[in-house]
Amino acid sequence: MAASAIVGENLEKYFPPALSGWRAWLHPVAKPTQCALAGVSFAVGSGEAVAIVGHNGAGKSTLLRILATLIVPTHGRATLGGFDVEREGGGARRQLGYHTGGDEGFYTRLTGQQNLEFFAAMNNLQGAEAQRRIAEVTECMGISGELDRQVRTLSTGMTHRLGLARALLHGPAVLLLDEPTRSLDPLAAADFRRLLKDDLVRRRGTTLLFASHTLSEVEEIADRVLLLDHGRLVACDSPARLRASTGAATLEGAIARLARTQAAVEATP
């Protein structure tokens, strides 16, 4: 395997419980007791596409948000492009593009072009270089003809593509996506998957770590699958080997068996 672009070492994340009323004032300093990640260790090679799967609340988004420097782990350590995401957040952010699968996160009164110019500036791109990168990524996303429209007039799919274009503006080595095709219609989702796998991962060598509930998407894009269950890492292997090791005919079947086995292990006194 190539050098690791992303490494997680014994990552643990606990959140404080939700407090209401006057006690909400104590929330910022409340003791974190609710486990979201429980000692997750993994590595993603450079140029590899890895999917994170698991049921709702398994810890997928928490893991991605730690890597994106948006939250800090309670214990353990993660590096992205060699930079510790907690202590060297600036270095890590130079390496990463982050996009969640929604159509939000834009200044809707501004055009797509104005939005991308603003975020290009935030990523240290300016002038002709910024314009060149905007032209390049929007061409790649198939939205170059829509850039003069205000974002509020764009369809969900278009805004979604604009979001990915934004994440790619500064040419990140690592792309973190949270449910990347969540709000896309089936045809747009298929286009999007091809774009991710063929253009970004295969042709450009971008490292891709994405969370998804769509297992056909996972099989199509991912070289390996990280299966999380209640914050624990249950399995980390290629879809074919997961099927083979569990004797299941489909990835869905393999994941279901692995999750059941994990539940049985946890139930054992």
Name the site residues for other proteins (rule: CB under 8 A).
Answer: 15-16, 24-25, 27-30, 32, 36, 62, 65, 68-72, 74, 90, 93-94, 96, 98, 100, 102, 104-110, 114, 117-119, 121-126, 166, 170
The dihedrals phi and psi of 10, each to the nearest 5 degrees, come to: 50, 45
SS3 14: strand
Give the nearer residue to other proteins in terms of CB position, either 152 or 194.
152
Supply the minimum distance, in Å, between the C-beta of residue 242 and other proteins.
30
Sheet holding 174-178, edge to edge: 96-100, 174-178, 207-211, 49-53, 224-229, 232-237
Supply the minimum distance, in Å, between the C-beta of residue 220 and other proteins.
26
Task: Kindly provide the b/e burial profile for residues 2-14, where b requires at least 16 CB atoms within 10 angstroms of the residue's own CB.
Answer: eebbbbbeebbbb
Give the nearer residue to other proteins in terms of CB position, either 27 or 260.
27
Give the nearer residue to other proteins in terms of CB position, either 74 or 238.
74
**Tokens representing 198?**
């063929």
**Tokens representing 221?**
């894009």
Supply the minimum distance, in Å, between the C-beta of residue 4 and other proteins.
21
Give the nearer residue to other proteins in terms of CB position, either 51 or 66.
66
Q: CA of 3: how far to CAs of 7, 46, 84, 224, 243, in Å? A: 10, 6, 16, 16, 26
Give the nearer residue to other proteins in terms of CB position, either 95 or 246.
95
Supply the minimum distance, in Å, between the C-beta of residue 72 and other proteins.
5
Give the nearer residue to other proteins in terms of CB position, either 126 or 245.
126
Supply the minimum distance, in Å, between the C-beta of residue 253 and other proteins.
33
- Of the candidates 15, 14, 74, 77, the residue with the CA atom closest to the CA atom of residue 42: 77
Supply the minimum distance, in Å, between the C-beta of residue 109 and other proteins.
5
SS3 75: strand
Report the residue count for the chain.
269
**Tokens representing 149?**
């429209």
